[in-house]
A and B are shown apart, each in its own frame.
Chain A
Amino acid sequence: MDILNAIVVLLNFVIIPATAYGAQLALGALGVTLIYGILRFSNFAHGDTMAFGTASTILVTWGLTGIGISIAPLPTALLALPFGILITMVLVLGVDRVVYRFYRRVKAKPIIFVMVSIGVMFVMNALTRFLPGIGVDDIRFADGERFLISVRTFRDLTGLEEGLAIRTTQAITVVVAAICVAALFWFLNRTRTGKSMRAFADNEDLALLSGINPDRVVMVTWLIVAALATTAGTLYGLDKAFKAFTYFQLLLPIFAAAIVGGLGNPIGAIMGGFLIAFSEVSVTYAFRKVVSYLGPEGWQPEGMIQLLSTDYKFAVSFSILLIVLLFRPTGIMKGKSI
């Protein structure tokens, strides 16, 4: 029995990575859920909006470090984030004006909106790759201190056999995500615009009757979504790596999170994000080491104690999605059913 080491292994390989990943998914799912709630369609371009936002943040980061500005030990990208958000806001407002506004005017069915958003997704992905210096390569733009605690320091400090690493980016992810969520909820529940957005989401006709300006609601929604997407993308890119293509793959877990939580429900989106992240990581994690620390001294289980091979990582969010749609289509938090 060696509970301490078991806990450390579990923290290092499951809990810490899943928490950071969950926070990133939650921010992404919030964006998807807001669009679904207020604009009433599933925005497939969300992953690539994140990619574009991250790419513009990277460009600003490079510009800042180029003229010698940095905020070490924190990554410069945090300073660049507001500029990245502004650029993305301009883009999504432009897209809304050029593309979505027409379909709103003709009152197109949601499925048409979804198809349109898939088109926007392709264009946005191409646009991201055309940005100067972005291309299709892996980009790591996390500067500053890499670790809050590195494996070696932790081992030296505690004398334990197992190491524990907390990357600066993981801590930043959780903190920034918490701030964003708090700000969003304050905005939705306390401000006039936020309340009008919720009214618009609940009942469009009633909201229009009571004098809410629909164009304004749509614009504010896009602005918030751009901010959320850029933040989520930048945090993901800081924590892992940025590549123009990989954000598309985030679409599945993000949608799974939003749907599991209940589409259109912000609290559900956050819960869904963490649920998906923890399932993805723990279902594919091999618990052999943890179990061998918990078992008697010197004993090691034969197999890997792994529910699913890591090849099936994406299958996890997909199966959760299917189960939820089959048995509780409105999600955990009673969102809209789809």
Chain B
Amino acid sequence: MKKILLASATTLALAGGAHADAHGPVTLGVSLGFTGPLESLAPPMALGAEMAMAEVTASGQLLGGKAVTSVRGDSTCIDASAAVAVAERLITSDGVDGIVGAMCSGATTAMLTNVAVPNGMVMISPSATSPALSTVEDNGLFFRTAPSDAAQGVVMANIILERGIDTVAVTYTNNDYGLGLANSFQAAFTAAGGTVTLVAAHEDERADYSAEVGALAAAGGDALVVAGYVDSGGSGIIRAALDTGAFDTFVFPDGMVGQALVDNFGAEINGSFGQFPGTDSNGADIYHNLATAAGFDGTSAFSKEAYDAAALIMLAMQAAGSTVPADYAKHVMDVANAPGEPIMPGELGRALELLAAGQDIDYVGASAVELIGAGESGGNYREIEIKDGEIVTARFR
């Protein structure tokens, strides 16, 4: 029985693949967590990716005028088996030529190692940020337009040192995000000559953080790095630290920067600072306008990155002159990075034309894409500080 299933699945895969390669339209899988803990983020991301496909189809420039269609799949966020099943469906029965996704790091890893790599399928994730994905065995098939959390640790270490602070205590929310960020920050900060007095976890959803703050205060430090969530434990830690006078300068990574922060603390945290992904490239503005015209919210987190992920796949196909993943995977880095003509959102048609004419392009896109290392976004960060109870942008880096 198992053999029959396998055989039929393989036949389907071959048939689907052959079908897609011949002349029909190019099909891209959009595999995001449409259900699960981040479900509210998925629709604007999918719409972003599909907007890029519609733009390319409308331009009529891709590989002699191929249309691009989208097939959505729900890879969820926390259910690895659902993610694997949907990836199998996309590749074997829908016969996609590339996948935008997955959304969460766990789902992405599961899809990549179990399905995409064995089937030689290209995946570009717009939002998986786990540092573990930088070193995953991917045969050059996996890219991401989101930066690894490790990148943020380095940026945060630099910001703190540049502000003349060299001893800090760190508290992180007790999950993969918090631990990964705390570890990468500690490594970067110590390597740059700083001292981390204590790295302590805190649990979210508690009412009382005085014990945690007591330990952090005993360790001391000129500032407290709070790698947590502003809607949960992170704010609790800051409240307790302010009340007991343990710290008065805080460093906020992306999970903490939000309106809730100044709503909760206002001028009490003046002089604190932090960073979150953001760019001063006007690609983001162009993208927001395009999204508004298309009827969805382009400012939603990782929507830009999803547009860029889809665009990169199609541009790489054009550069390779083929929709076979093994062929175009090699060209993803080329189209994303300099040298070449910079390409903004809404200019995909022109980019395809340039590529067809054999010229280089440097895809900037909505999120100022620059792929580094094993094919992940280097990350652009907006450094912020709290002045008079408001979040103000200090600079971009």
Could you list which residues of chain A lie within 8 angstroms of chain B, going by C-beta atoms?
12-14, 17, 21, 137-138, 147, 150-152, 155, 163, 165, 167, 236-237, 240-243, 245-247, 249, 280-281, 284-290, 304-306, 309-311, 313
Contacts and interface: CB of A to CB of B under 8 A. Distances in A.
Interface of B: 174, 198, 200-203, 205-208, 210-212, 214-215, 217-220, 231-232, 235-236, 239, 243-245
B211 A165 contact: no
A310 B232 CA distance: 18
Closest 5 CB pairs of A and B: A151-B245, A286-B218, A163-B245, A240-B207, A246-B207
Contacts of A152: 245
B207 A167 contact: no
A165 B244 contact: yes
A311 B233 CA distance: 13
B235 A138 contact: yes
A241 B232 CA distance: 11
Nearest to A292: B218
Contacts, number: 87
B200 to A, nearest CB: 6
B214 A285 contact: yes
B224 to A, nearest CB: 14
Contacts of B214: 13-14, 17, 281, 284-286, 310
A285 B215 contact: yes
A310 B205 contact: no
A280 B236 CA distance: 18
Contacts of A247: 207
B215 A304 contact: yes
A169 to B, nearest CB: 10
Contacts of B232: 138
B218 A287 contact: yes
B158 to A, nearest CB: 28
Given A12-B244, A13-B244, A310-B200, A243 B218 contact: no
A310 B218 CA distance: 13
B243 A167 contact: yes
Given A242-B207, A280-B211, 4 more contacts: A138-B231, A147-B243, A246-B207, A247-B207
A309 B243 contact: no
Nearest to B171: A310
Contacts of A163: 244-245
Contact of B205 (A245, A281, A304): A245
Kindly name the residue among B201, B214, B215 whose own CB sees the greatest number of chain A CB atoms within 10 A. Answer: B214
Contacts of B220: 289
A306 B215 contact: yes
A247 B205 CA distance: 10
Contact of B211 (A12, A150, A310): A310
